Structure 1
Amino acid sequence: MIRILKKYIITILNLLFFIKLSLIRFLEVLGGFFPETSLGCKIRGCIYRPFLKNCGANFQVALNVKFENLNKINIGNNVYVGYGSWINGHKDGVTLCDEVMLGPYVTLVANNHSFLDNSYRFGKGSGGEIKIGSGTWLAAKSTVTAGVVIGKGVLVGANSVVTKDIKDNFVVGGVPAKMIRIIER
């Protein structure tokens, strides 16, 4: 009897551990049941809200978005994350201030690999917080690397890779991203 009880307890503990590890994937699947409409985006935002470090009002998430390390991601008010984007708060986290808009397939990863014994595979990871300022738009397929701070009102052109900090009110683009012009207010 004790052996059977012990077996059931171990099975339940393994199941709970599996559920904990699978929670993010479950949220992605659950969010996929809602259409790619304004209402569907708002529902997905509500689904993720309790698992984020901080989350403001009107958070909207398109389909097929992948979040990792949600407990290190801060979201401001009126933030939109576009279709297929990937946000990984590993190491020092990611902050999206108010009114940030991410186009489709944007990548934000707050960690990097380092080189060890002629390989990146087992090198110690390094990171830095990514911060995206209020009113900034990251266009489709943009990438922001660890430790980058992007100012307020910045437009990052499609397919750009931002590797250095960007001041307020600039249009940047390219690989690596460079200033194209200042946005006059």
Structure 2
Amino acid sequence: MDLKRVRRDVDRSVDLAVLFAQKWRWYRRAQTPWQLAALHVELARRQCFARGRLYGEPLQLLRENRLRLGEQTLFEDGVWLTSYAGRIEIGANCILNRNVMVAASDLVQIGDHTLIGNGCLITDSAHRNDDTDEPMPWQGYASKGPTRIGDNTWIGVNSVITSGVTVGRRCAIGANSVVTRDIPDFSVAAGSPARVIRSLREP
């Protein structure tokens, strides 16, 4: 028996248990009546509105100035906003529909007047899986850089915008797409992986 490996696995299991307990406390605390009221006050100060509950750490991120919101942005029920050490910037007059998740390790930017369909994931990182001897939850995250979405863009239902991708201005991303590379301005793109179908500037 490899005692070093056993000891390492035990230590990491303890670390995971502590992390899960901490997360559980954060999420439970975020749903207390006074925390929900405080979140809505912070949103109102920015002239934003949540029609239902937000999940993740939105109040903490707002207070730490790691979540920046433009005016008149609307969050539907079930939106997740989470960031361990990064920043999330969402422009003015955006709509994030039900069960959208925005997760930042470094930076996720969403431009003004952008529509995000139900169930979308926008992230600047992904789980690592390069070590075949290491359990998946212990490998951490890898990022290819900030993820950006331009102004006046529409992201269709259940789409995924991956790490290091820039989606340009006035783009339309079809439902169920997985965007793994940059999309130029004024483009319609769809598929998994998403590819440009046409330009909105074509006659």
- What range is the shorter-chain TM-score in? 0.7 to 0.9
Contact 1:151 1:166 in 2 (8 A): yes
Root-mean-square deviation (CA), in Å?
3.2
- Equivalent in 83, 93, 98 of residue 83 of structure 1: 98
1:67–1:18 distance in 2 versus 1, CA, 3 Å: closer
Structure 1 stretches of 4+ with a deviation exceeding 2 A read 17-27, 47-53, 117-124
Q: State the partner residue of 1:183.
A: 200
Contact 2:146 2:164 in 1 (8 A): yes
> Normalising by structure 2, what TM-score?
0.67
How many residue pairs get aligned? The number is 159
- Higher strand proportion (structure 1 or 2): 2
Q: Does 1:22 align with 2:27?
A: yes
Q: State the partner residue of 1:162.
A: 179
Could you tell me how far apart the structure 1 residues matched to 2:87 and 2:99 are? Answer: 20
Shift of residue 20 of structure 1?
A: 7.6
Q: Does 1:138 align with 2:155?
A: yes
Could you tell me how far apart the structure 2 residues matched to 1:24 and 1:140 are? Answer: 30
Could you tell me how far apart the structure 1 residues matched to 2:192 and 2:29 are? Answer: 31
Could you tell me how far apart the structure 1 residues matched to 2:178 and 2:194 are? Answer: 5
* Aligned-partner residue type, residue 44 of structure 1: A
- Equivalent in 123, 143, 152 of residue 139 of structure 2: 123
Could you tell me how far apart the structure 1 residues matched to 2:173 and 2:24 are? Answer: 37
Shift of residue 30 of structure 1?
A: 3.9
Shift of residue 160 of structure 1?
A: 0.3
* Aligned-partner residue type, residue 105 of structure 1: G
Identity %: 24
Unpaired runs of 5+ residues, structure 2, are: 1-21, 41-47
